[in-house]
Structures are given as C-alpha cells and as structure tokens.
Amino acid sequence: MNRRDFIKTSVAAGSALLLSNPFSLLAATESEGLCDLVAVRGGEPAEMFRRGISEMGGMGAFVRYGQAVVVKPNIGWDTPPERGACTNPELVGEIVRQCLAVGAGRVEVLDHTCDLWKNCYRNSGIEAAVKAAGGQMVPGNSRRHYTDVRIPAGKRLTYAKVHRNVLEADVLINVPVLKNHGSTRLTLGMKNLMGVVWDRKYWHRSDLHQCIADFSTFMKSDLTIMDGYRVMRTNGPMGVSEEDVALVKAQIIARDPVAVDAASAKMFGLQPDDVGYIPIADAMNVGSKDLTRLSIRKVRIAG
Amino acid sequence: MKHLRRVRRCVAGAVFALMALVFIDFSGWIPVWVSDALTATQFLPALVRLLTGGGILAAGCLVVTGLTLLFGRVYCSFLCPLGILFDGAARLQKRRRYRSSFPHNHLRVSVVMVLLLSVIGGSFVLVDLFGPFSLFGRSATLIARPLVIVINNGLSRILEMGGSYSVAPWSLKGIAWGATALTAATLGVLVWLARARGRIYCNTFCPVGAVLGLFSVGARFRVRIDVSTCNSCGGCSRVCKAECIDPRMKTVDATRCVVCFNCLGVCPSGSLFYGRSRQLQGTGGGDPDLFSSERRALMLTAVVMAVPGGRLPAANAEQAPEAKGRSLTPVVRKLPVTPPGSRGIDHFTRRCISCLRCVSACPSQVLQPSLTGYGLKGFMMPSLQPRFGYCNTGCTQCGQVCPTGAIETLPLEEKQLTQLGKVVFVRDNCIVILNRTECGACSEHCPTKAVTMVVEKGLRVPVVNPDICIGCGACEHACPTKPFKAIYVEGNRVHIQAEKPRVHPPESLDTGFREESDFPF
C-alpha cells in the first residue's frame, strides 16, 4: 500500500482503539465495577459482605493504602445480637478485616450510644469482633471528643458537634441495621449517622426528619452497608424481645446513601416516601431515591 | 507494747484505703463481695440491718459489740473510716499537743436528748447525719469520687494524644451541687475539728462513739496506768487525741479512749500498758461510779441507737396528697422514685442511713442524694433523678451493695418487673403537639414499650400504658423539650409488680413489615 493509505488506515485503527477502550469493552461484557448497588440474600453476614463488596469492585476501590478508616455501626443499645437492635458483630468484624487486608493505616469503630457505652460495646458483641479483626474501638460518649462544625446547606440543623475521629478520617463506612422505628417508621443509613453527633436532643425537638436530611448534606459517607440479617419488625429501635426480630438475611451495599435507604425501605415492605427523611434528602440532592435509574446487582447465596 | 500502735496503723490504713476505693470505684472494677464484706464490718449499718431484717450480714454489729465489750473501742481506731480520717488529718499537724479535757457530759447528754426527741418525733435524720459511716460515705461519693474521675479523664486525654485508648474517659454528668457543697462544708468542719482537738467528734456528737463508749465501761482489756510508777508528768495526755487521760488523777477514761495505742510508747517510766488489770493499788483511780451522769448519757444514747428498727409508724403513715388534675406546666414530681429493691418510700426511709453507697455504685448515675424530696425525715437520702440518667434494665448494683438492706438485692427477673413509679405523659408539652414534627425519643428508650407511638393526623404521638411501666426514667431522660418535660415518672409510694410487656402487638400496630423472599426492586 502507498503512504497515504497507510496513514489513513493507521489513524482509523488508532482512533478506533482510543475511542473504544478495550478494558471497558471487557468490563461491559462481564459487568464488573459498574453497578451502583448490590443486594445480597441468604448466607451468613461475613460471607454476604465478601460477595457483595467484590461486586462493587472490592474493598480496595474504597480504601487506599495507609488511610484512616472509621466504621460507624449501630451500637446504640445494650442488647445482644439476637435482639437485632445493633449491627451484626460478624459483619462489622469482617468489614474491619477487609479494610486492613487492603492496607488501611488504622480502622476505628465508634458510636455515641444511647445506653451505657461500655455495656453497649461489649454486649452487642461488636467490641470483641473488632478487636479480633485488628480494629480499635473508640469511645463516643465524652463531649471532649466532639468538634463544632457548620452545616451550610442545613435548613433546621445549621451546626453540630461531630466526633473528631470521624472528621479526621479519610474514609467513612456507614454500617446501619435495618429496623423499625417508633417515630420515623424505619431507622436506616442516614439516621444511623445521628450516632456521630453529640446533641441528638436538638434533632428530636427541631423537626427530626429535616435534621437527618440536613446532616447528610454535610456528612458524606464513602460507603453504606445495610445490615438486614436480622430485621426488627416492630417495637423499634430498641425492641422488647427476640420475638420482635425476623431472620431476613439481607444486605444492601452502595455509595449513594439515599439509594441504600430507599432500597432498604422496600426490603422492609414500605415505600421510600413512607420514611420522611428519604424524600427530603432526595430533594436536597444528597442522593437519589429512584432505584429504576440504578444498575443493581442481585446476589443470592444458598442457605 | 510499741508494736500495737504499728499494727493499728497498718490495719487502719488498709481498711481506710479499701473503703475509699469501694466508694470511688466508678467503673465497677471492684467485685460486689468486697464491698459487702467491708460494709458489713460497720457498726451502724449492721445494726440497722439487724433490727430490720437480720441475715448473715447483720452479724457484724454483734461481732463489733463483742469486741468492744472485751477490748474497748478498738472499732474506733481500726475500723471506723471517719475516725481513721480524723487520725490522718491530725497527723498532718506538726507539734500537736493535746490536753486532758473534761468528759463534756452535759454536751453528751444534750446530744442524746436531742437525738431521742427527734426519734420520738419520727425522724431519724439526725442519726443519719451524725453517723460516722454515713459521713464518710457522703464525703467519698460526692467529693473524692468526682475528683478521681477528673484525674482519670486527664490521664485518658494524655494517653489519647499518644494514640492509646487504654484508659477510658468517664462521664461526670451526675453532680448534685447542693448536696456536694453541703458535704464539703461538713467535711471541712470535721477535719478542722480533728486537727484542733483530735477525736473530739467521736466523744461528743458521734452516736456510735457514745454507744461503744458505754460498752467499754467494763472492758477487760483497756489502756491502764500503773499508779505506783506514774509520776504525773503528763507526757501521755499530750499525745492522747481522745483527750481522755488525766495525769493528775492517773486515770484513763475507757469510755472515751479510742484504743489507738499512741500513748503506750511515750511514757518515760513505762507506766502505761494495755491489758487486764493487775492486782495493784487501784488501776487508775478506780472504776467510774455506776450511776454517773456519764453513764446515764450513754445509756440514753444506746436506747436511741436501738430504736432504728422500730421507727414509729405514726410519723411515716401520712398519706401523700392524691394527684388530681395534672398541671400542664410546670411539671413537678410529687413522690420521689426510690431504687429497685427498696420496696417503697416507707421501707426505704426506715432503713436508709444516707451513706450514698448506692449512688457511688450506680453506673448510670440516675441515683442522686435528695435534699428535699423526702422532706426532713429523709434529708440526703437518694432517689432516682432522670435528668442525670436512667435505671439500666440489666443492672441490680444498688441492691447488691446497700449496707443496711434499705435496698434489697432483687433477682434480675424480679427487678425487671418491679414498678418504681408510673409514667405520666404531659401532652401539652410534647414536641409533636406543639411543633407538628416527629420526635419519638421517649418511646425509643422505653425498655418495656409502656410508651408507644400512635398515628394521629399524620404524625406519631406518644401513648402511655402505665401498667407495664417499670419507672426506670428512660423516657424522662430522653425527652428533649424545654423547659419542662413532656413525659416523666411519678414515684410509687409502694413498689408493685408491673404487668409483663406485650410481646405480640395487636394488628393495629402494623409497621408495614412484609416477609419477602426475593428482591423487591
């Protein structure tokens, strides 16, 4: 072929190569790393998380080498795991383990508990699981650990005292438990973030739903993992006995906190709009409650 | 004989340190049996327990009585934490010289008369206020304990700067300022008295000192002066902190001697000894006259002390006014909420000696001394005050450590059904009614769901079921309204058993939960 033909062919081939990224071609066929939300049913919490996070691109997609990570489960109540009031300890332990496995510098776990904090940390089983996994439990019930922050987009909540370890962390992983709540109907991911502030009473007397949404405009978690292994059907958020709990064996993982809460509401049996703060947060652009626009991966584990 | 003083100081030091530790221990590190064993040695609590119920822990009172009858007031130097504190305070004073003083029997008799009158009037408050264990307990709980917590938190802060969370910070939320100030002032006066006049308190106002003094009159073993070798130099009386040695008469007043052995090694002629009487020409001026005014005073005090168990029912039986027509704001609790195991206000106030051991043991700090809640008869006795915390469902600490049995040890299942008081909802103070926004903090914290949320005009309002309420105060503690609470606990005069919480809610409380085996999206 002559020189002109050679140049034309090369440019055509080169731009074809550039424009159609072979890696994304590969990705498109295997659907790897493209999903927005993973839902897992069946299995045990640790295994469910391992399967789920791999669909999201692996823990390494969220935690880089040497980073400081804060894992925020629900440790609010002095109850054992079977009561379903706190996050499943096995799940929390596995998350800590995965973070350390991809090279996190330190992994801290904390909550500003409602009941006596030492009892909550111990009796929920989370302290033991975190220690076994190599993480560090941090107290959350002393006022001196909290720093003032402003919440510029807040309508009712314009400033708050937030736990300084959360503010200083590179990565925030929110691990709420899916359960009924007496006044907000469900307590999910965005409400779980109440546990990183000092003055919760202010939220309760100043339009609770609005404050929950306001805070989520400020506090951006990098990843939310909804623990639906045991779901408290009624008498939430503390429950009265084990009979309030159903063994649902579900887990939902996503970056978008509104999407996780919307999907979790549906998993419970309600609609996203039934939980007051979800549509408010959606309207404030914290995220999107419209699940039809998301790419959702569904994983079923036997057992 | 010199070793006796050393022994006394070792034992007293150990007893004081342990007793202080038991009260100061804020994290629950010291086992309950250690606390119980220590407080069982204390005379007044054990006496109250003996006269109001008995049991093995009341034996301490009899043991101390027996010891005193034989050996004199060894209790005052070896076991009484307030006395040991006095000794410590006095030691800090250099160049101390005591003088033998008069027995002040007029004062002792007056004190006894006032005590007796108040007792007949139905109030044991003076016995509680002057009892040495109670005074020590209040000082340790309200002053020493918070100070140690502050030190702990300072240490925690320093360690955290270095990246270590090994020392946990402790919340200092439960401070009853009025009671603390009063206790600090009292302690200040007592320590000043000790530095000026040694054991003067023990020989004037202390009811235990008066009774044990009476028991020591005929003690076999006592500090005695050998009159044949004594030359009245007065060296012994200068070191006697009880001011009970008269060098001119060569007598040691056994009813005031606290058996500290300080005098034994001081005598240049070795005339002082501790033991049985020898067949010498009189041992120190002869035994006191059987019907001396001193003895009379002491006997009266003994009567006063014996009555704790038989508190006259008339004074305690007044009916609390019926709570008709709840006032909207402000909110006032009519009856104090007494701790679980106290059975009710009457049972509690007949036995409590205001030592605040329960306050020091309460992990949530909901138990605090009450200045006016019980009226004059219960000055400084503790009650549940939910602005500081709430009663933990899994906890029975107060009943386990109470030295007199005012708070009985309940098995956990019984405690979880014991109704200390009933929940009262003040609708007009509620956020949901006032602001038309969601709250639900009360129901959130209720362990039995005596407070539930019910839909009313699109929002969730609290609805209370007092029959299943156990009066723990969690709702009151959580309620965020200002200035007055929208929900609180009204104390039960007598504790009753609550009904069991509902486990299967009726259909009307449909929360929307649906069992779903697939993915609903």
Tens digits of residue pLDDT in B113-122:
776 676 666 5
In angstroms, the CA B212 to CA B218 distance is: 11
CA distance A236 to chain B (A): 7
Contact B392 A119 (CB under 8 A): yes
**Mean pLDDT computed over every residue of chain A:** 91
Is B324 a residue whose pLDDT tops 70?
no
For residue A292, is pLDDT > 90?
Answer: yes
A205–B431: do the CB atoms touch at under 8 Å?
Answer: yes
Q: Is A264 on the interface with B (CB under 8 A)?
A: no
- Report how far residue B388's alpha carbon sits from residue A143's, in angstroms, rounded to the nearest whole number: 15
Q: Where does B385-483 have alpha helices with state H?
A: 397-401, 412-415, 431-435, 441-445, 474-478
Q: Chain A closest CA to B141's CA: distance in Å?
A: 20
Q: Is the pLDDT of residue B164 over 70?
A: yes
Answer yes or no: do B514 and A142 touch at CB < 8 A: no
Q: Using 50, 70 and 90 to split pLDDT, how confident is the model at B126? A: confident
pLDDT of residue A15: 66
Q: What average pLDDT does range A43-62 have in this prediction?
A: 95
Lowest mean pLDDT segment, chosen from B409-413, B483-487, B492-496: B483-487
A184 touches chain B (CB under 8 A): yes
Strands A171-175 and A177-181: unpaired
Percentage of chain B lying above the pLDDT 90 cut: 55
Task: Return residues 194-213 of A near B (CB < 8 Å).
Answer: 201-202, 204-210
Radius of gyration of chain A (CA): 21
Across B34-45, average pLDDT: 93
The predicted pLDDT at position B475 comes to 97
* Overall average pLDDT of the B329-333 stretch: 83
Q: What does the alpha-carbon distance between residue B472 and residue B356 come to, in Å, rounded to a whole number?
A: 19
By mean pLDDT, which of A21-30, A62-71, B369-378, B412-421 is the weakest? A21-30
Among B181-195, B205-219, B380-394, the minimum mean pLDDT is found in B205-219
Q: Which residues of B touch A208 (CB under 8 A)?
A: 437-440
- Kindly state whether B165 is in contact with chain A, defined as any CB-CB distance less than 8 angstroms: yes
A chain contacts of residue B520, beta-carbon cutoff 8 Å: 266-267, 269
Q: Is B513 close to A246, i.e. CB distance below 8 A? A: yes
Which residues in A lie closer than 8 A to residue B501 (C-beta atoms)? 240-241
Please judge whether B444 and A237 are an interchain contact, meaning their C-beta atoms are less than 8 angstroms apart.
yes
pLDDT for A3-37, tens place per residue? 877 777 777 666 665 555 444 444 333 445 579 99
Chain A residues with CB under 8 Å of B150 CB are none
- Distance CA(B175)–CA(B284), nearest Å, equals 52
Q: Omega into B501 within 30° of 0, i.e. cis?
A: no
pTM over 0.90: no
- Chain B residue with minimal CA distance to A263? B521
Angle at B359 between CA B354 and CA B365, to 5 degrees: 150
Task: Find the helix or strand (DSSP H, E) in which A187 lies.
Answer: strand A185-187
Say which range, B260-264, B280-284, B326-330, B505-509, has the weakest mean pLDDT: B280-284
What is the model's pLDDT at position A29? Answer: 37
What's the pLDDT score for residue B207? 85
pLDDT at B375 over 90: no
Closest approach of chain A CAs to the CA of B277, in angstroms?
Answer: 59
What pLDDT does B298 receive?
55
Task: Find the closest chain A residue to B501 by CA distance.
Answer: A240
Tokens of B7: 């022994």
Alpha-carbon distance of B139 to B180, in angstroms, equals 8
Round to whole Å and give the CA distance between A224 and A259: 10
- Indicate the pairing of strand A68-73 with strand A296-300: unpaired
Predicted pLDDT of residue B34: 95
Q: Of A97, A106, A108, whose CA–CA distance to A67 is shortest?
A: A106
Q: Which residue is closest to B154 within chain A, CA to CA?
A: A144
Residue B372, min C-alpha distance to chain A (Å): 28
With cut-offs at 50, 70 and 90, classify the pLDDT of residue A250. Answer: very high
pLDDT at residue B47, as a whole number: 85
Q: What pLDDT shows up at residue B306?
A: 54
Residue A22 confidence (pLDDT): 47
A201 to B480: CB separation less than 8 angstroms, yes or no: yes
Provide the pLDDT confidence category of residue B5 given band limits of 50, 70 and 90.
Answer: very high
Q: Which residue of B has its CA nearest to A289?
A: B521
Please list every residue in chain B whose beta carbon sits closer than 8 Å to the beta carbon of residue A118: 27, 168
Interchain pair B511, A201: CB under 8 A: no
Mean pLDDT, chain B, as a whole number?
A: 85
pLDDT at residue A85, rounded to an integer: 96
Best of A78, A113, A116, A156 to disrupt the B interface (most B CBs within 10 Å) is A116
> Minimal Cα distance from B481: which residue of A?
A205
B294 band by pLDDT with thresholds 50, 70 and 90: low
Q: With contacts defined as CB-CB under 8 Å, which chain A residues touch B441?
A: 183, 201, 204
Instruction: Give the span between the Cα atoms of B470 and B450, in whole angstroms.
Output: 8
Tell me if chain B has a CB within 8 Å of the CB of A263: yes
The string of DSSP codes covering B162-221 is: TT---S---------HHHHHHHHHHHHHHHHHHHHHSSTGGGTT-HHHHHHHHHGGG-SS
Nearest-CA neighbor of A62 among A202, A213, A196, A225? A225
Q: pLDDT (tens digit, 9 = 90+) per residue, A105-150?
A: 999 999 999 999 999 999 999 999 999 999 999 999 999 999 999 9
pLDDT of residue B122: 58
Of A180, A207, A291, the CB nearest to B511: A180
Res B310 pLDDT > 80: no
Burial class (CB in 10 A: 0-12, 13-18, 19+), B518: exposed
Looking at the partner chain, which of B439, B516, B518 has a beta carbon nearest the beta carbon of A183? B439
Residues 6 or more apart whose CB falls under 8 angstroms from that of A141 comprise A112, A113, A117, B171
**B residues 368..397 contacting A (CB < 8 A):** 392-394
Contact list, B393 vs chain A (CB under 8 Å): 78
Where is pLDDT greater, at B81 or B253? Answer: B81
- First-to-last C-alpha distance (Å) of chain B: 90
Split at pLDDT 50, 70, 90, the class of B308 is very low
Per-residue pLDDT, averaged over B424-452, amounts to 92
Once rounded to an integer, what is the mean pLDDT over residues A79-98?
97
Nearest of A268, A185, A197, A194 to residue A226 by alpha carbon? A268
User: What are the strands, taking DSSP E only, across A42-117?
Assistant: 68-73, 106-109
Token pair belonging to B202: 């023990």
| Chain B contact present for A130, CB below 8 A | no
Q: How far apart are CA B259 and CA B79, in angstroms?
A: 12
A183, A233, A244, best to mutate vs chain B, most B CBs in 10 Å: A183
Interface check for A290 against chain B (CB to CB < 8 A): the answer is no
Q: Do B516 and A267 touch (CB under 8 A)?
A: yes
Distances (CA, A) of B302 to A73, B109, B299: 61, 12, 5
pLDDT of residue A197 exceeding 80, the answer is yes
Q: Are A265 and A272 in contact (CB under 8 A)?
A: yes
Tokens for A83?
A: 């009561």
Between B303 and B272, the more confident residue is B272
Answer yes or no: is pLDDT of B96 > 60: yes
With residue B43 as reference, give the H or E element that holds it: helix B43-52
A271–chain B Cβ distance below 8 A for any pair: no
DSSP class per residue in B47-85: HHHHHHT--GGGHHHHHHHHHHHHH-SHHHHHT-HHHHH
Chain A, window 6-45: residues with a beta carbon less than 8 angstroms from a chain B beta carbon: 39, 41
Across the range B371-395, mean pLDDT stands at: 91
pLDDT (0 to 100) of residue A27: 38
Instruction: Check whether the bond before B483 is cis (ω within 30° of 0).
Output: yes
Closest to B390 measured CA to CA, from B410, B366, B358? B366
Q: Mind giving me the DSSP string for A202-265?
A: HHHHS-HHHHHHHHHHH---SEEEEEEEEEE-SSTTT-SSGGGEEEEEEEEEES-HHHHHHHHH
Among chain B residues, CA nearest to A290: B521
Among B171, B452, B501, beta carbon nearest to A142: B171
Q: Do A274 and B171 touch (CB under 8 A)?
A: no
Using the beta-carbon criterion (under 8 Å), do B446 and A238 form an inter-chain contact? yes
Yes or no: say if B383 and B336 are a contact pair by the CB < 8 Å rule.
yes
Instruction: Check residue A227 and give its pLDDT.
Output: 97
pLDDT attached to residue B480 = 92
Give me the mean pLDDT over the B351-363 stretch.
94
**Looking at residue A280, what is its pLDDT?**
97
Q: Which residues pair with A137 in a beta bridge?
A: A109
Under an 8 A CB cutoff, do B441 and A204 touch?
yes
Nearest residue on chain B to A237, judged by CA atoms? B444
Structure tokens at A187: 């307590």
How many CB atoms lie under 10 A from the CB of residue B40?
Answer: 18
